[in-house]
Amino acid sequence: MDHVENVVRIPIGGGEEPEPSRTSSPPPDLITLAAGAAIGLVALAVEAAVQILQAVSATPDRDGVQGSSETVAMLTGAALGFAVEAARTAAAAAELGRRTAGPPTSFLVGNVFDGPWRAGLDLLSRWNQSWREERPDVEAAANAVAVEAVQRTIDLVLDQLDLTQLVLDHVDLDRVISSVDLDAVVGQLDIDRIAGGIDLDAIADRLDVERVIARLDLAKLSLEVIERIDLPEIIRTSTGTVASEGVRVVRMQTFGADRAISGIVSRMLGRRPPEAPSDLDEPTDQAGPDRTGA
Amino acid sequence: MPETEPAILSVPAEARDFQGERAGIVSRVIANAIDLAILVAVLAGVYLGWSAFLFLRHGSSFRFPTVTYPGVYLAGVIVLTLLFTAAWSTTGRSYGDRVLGLRVVDRHGARLAVGLAFVRAALCVAFPLLLFWAIIDRRSVQDLILRTRVIYDWTEQTGSDHARGMRVDVASAVAHEPEHRDAESVGGFDGER
């Protein structure tokens, strides 16, 4: 509404009318604002200080203290109000002075101090220019210095700390490890390349093979190996020098027949049924005298 | 007696257990039958050889020599005795024994001496039926008299190094018995050594 009113009134009433209305309620200028802010800050600080003092004195319920604190608050408020009034008066006086001294000052500045002013501006501009030119180098140097300083500081700090112990004390390593996908890590390893980097010859050179062999019972081992792979059977089947398969069958069958007949005879004669034990017993009976005789 | 192990390894696994045992009657009869067949072949060869000699000698007047039963019997006895003596005193086995995997050894388990082999051969040829005492005792009467034995022995040693080689060269592994099987023969080797 106000905006619309202004638009209507400017062509009708002339240019003079709105100006006084604007200046009659001028927006608080910079000085006034700064003064108000400073006073506000001081007021807040004083208020806080008073509250802290009350809290520290720790006897808020006593009547005397209560009265004195009210007195302090009243005095503080009065002082602040006075300060506000003073600031306002000072601002008004300054405004008056500026209006009075404005034209001659601007004349002086515009004519008398124009040369030095421009020279100063040029100087500042040159300084600014040179700063812009130097800026990358200066920044780089500053960066280097900062990095170095930080580095040294960190080293100094780390020297004072037992990081391993800190990690052991404060880090749940099991949880960390369980969150790591070890399969993926292993999958990324090039095992062939690692194996290729190992000098097996050098390792083999360091082995004392002679000593290893000396600890083996080669004779017994060979017998066991021959037994396992049935080497005689291989030789028999490959060369056929010894009993052929047919002869083996005949021998086994006759042996079976021998045993059967011995069993029958033993049963008929009422001897112990299996002939094998008797076969073992008899020779030992005979062997004794024979051996002594020999 | 671990040095006997390699020798026994040359025997099929299923036959190792009874190596060195006394042979039964079936094996011995079959072995003798084979030897008898060989005797017939030898006699036939001798007859043919003698006939060829006579043919070369007499030419057109040649006639096959007459064969009489006593003559054949006598020749058979002599040839068989010589064959057995030679076999038992050298390899310890006749051809029939070899086929059946048998060996004749003395009371020490060693190869028979020539004299003993001859006596045993003569007794066997003269009284073949005494072999059948082995049905009862696994020893023929000849074995009882001469204290010899016929054993299963499938290992392959030639007779000359059989007995001697067993004692001298154990590494050549020519033992013919498993170490635990026949106490008599093992003791015999030790006694002779």
Least confident range from A40-44, A144-148, B131-135: namely A40-44
Neighbours of A45 (CB within 10 A): 10
Verify whether the Cβ–Cβ distance B26 to A276 is below 8 Å: no
DSSP string covering chain B = -GGGHHHHHTS-GGGSTTTTSBP-HHHHHHHHHHHHHHHHHHHHHHHHHHHHHHHHHHGGG--PPP--HHHHHHHHHHHHHHHHHHHHHHTS--HHHHHHTEEEE-TTSSPPPHHHHHHHHHHHHH-GGGGGGHHHHSS-HHHHHHT-EEEE------HHHHHHHHHH-GGG----S-TTT-HHHHHHHHHH-
Kindly state the percentage of chain B with pLDDT values over 70. 76
Verify whether the Cβ–Cβ distance A243 to B101 is below 8 Å: yes
Least confident range from A93-107, B55-69, B73-87, B132-146: namely A93-107
Chain B: closest CA distance from residue A253 (Å) = 9
Mean pLDDT, all residues of chain A? 74
Dihedrals φ, ψ of B102, to 5°? Answer: -115, 160
Chain A: closest CA distance from residue B118 (Å) = 21
**Range among A1-5, B6-10, B21-25 with highest mean pLDDT value:** B21-25
> What's the pLDDT at A68?
66
Please determine, for residue B156, whether its predicted confidence score (pLDDT) is greater than 80. no
> What's the pLDDT at B180?
43
Parse chain B into domains and list their residue ranges: 2-192
> What's the pLDDT at B150?
93
Parse chain A into domains and list their residue ranges: 1-57+69-98
Verify whether the Cβ–Cβ distance B15 to A251 is below 8 Å: yes
**Which tens digit of pLDDT belongs to each residue from B34-49?**
999 999 999 999 999 9
**Which tens digit of pLDDT belongs to each residue from A241-281?**
555 778 888 889 999 999 999 899 888 888 765 544 444 44
Predicted TM-score (pTM) of the model is 0.44
**Which tens digit of pLDDT belongs to each residue from B82-110?**
999 999 999 999 999 999 999 999 988 88
Cα distance between residue A42 and residue A79, in whole Å: 11
> What's the pLDDT at A107?
76
Rounded (5°) CA angle A283-A288-A294: 110
**Range among A18-22, A37-41, B3-7 with highest mean pLDDT value:** A37-41
Please determine, for residue A96, whether its predicted confidence score (pLDDT) is greater than 50. yes
Please determine, for residue A191, whether its predicted confidence score (pLDDT) is greater than 60. yes
Verify whether the Cβ–Cβ distance A250 to B99 is below 8 Å: yes
Chain A: closest CA distance from residue B125 (Å) = 22
Reduced to 3 states, what is the DSSP secondary structure of residue A244? coil
Query: End-to-end CA distance of chain B, in Å?
Result: 14
Please determine, for residue B119, whether its predicted confidence score (pLDDT) is greater than 70. yes
User: What amino acid is encoded at B88 in this protein?
Assistant: W
Nearest neighbour of A294 by CB, restricted to B21, B182, B192 = B192
> What's the pLDDT at A239?
61
- Of A181 and B31, the structure prediction assigns the larger pLDDT to B31
Average confidence (pLDDT) over A273-291? 42
Average confidence (pLDDT) over A123-149? 88
